[in-house]
């Protein structure tokens, strides 16, 4: 069964940072990216709250995110509007 997505995903392998409140940023890897969300990997995905800010190093931009799924050290996020 083919999945239909609202926006096109681009496979990438770029560095990013996750910011939660005033804590030190957590390094992550962005594996795919679309206009509405991304798939990330970090060492300990279980320590992240369900909402945070993602800084995409290649864009120098902050994006508020909501976690939509977690699998091991990978997480899927949707960009909050």
Distances, alpha carbon 28 to alpha carbons 7, 13, 20, 59, in Å:
23, 10, 13, 15
Shortest CA distance to 47 belongs to which of 26, 65, 31, 33?
26
What string of pLDDT tens digits covers the 81 residues of the chain?
555 556 777 898 999 999 999 999 999 999 999 999 999 999 877 778 999 999 998 788 899 999 999 999 999 999 987
What is the 3 state secondary structure string of the chain?
CCCCCCCCCEEEEEEEEEECCCCCCEEEEEEEECCCEEEEECCCHHHCCCEEEEEECCCCEEEEEEEEEEECCEEEEEECC
Check which CATH number belongs to the domain holding 30 and give it: 2.40.10.430
Residue 55 covered by a domain: yes
Residue 17 covered by a domain: yes
Residue 19 covered by a domain: yes
Q: How many domains does the chain have?
A: 1
Domain range enclosing 27: 10-79
Residue 66 covered by a domain: yes
């Amino acid at each position: 069964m083919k999945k239909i997505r609202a926006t096109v995903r681009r496979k990438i392998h770029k560095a990013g940072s996750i910011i939660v409140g005033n804590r030190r940023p957590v390094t992550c890897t962005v594996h795919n990216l679309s206009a509405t969300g991304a798939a990330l990997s970090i060492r300990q995905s279980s320590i992240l709250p369900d909402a945070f800010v993602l800084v995409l190093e290649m864009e120098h931009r902050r994006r508020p995110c909501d976690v939509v799924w977690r699998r091991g050290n990978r997480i899927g996020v949707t960009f909050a509007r």
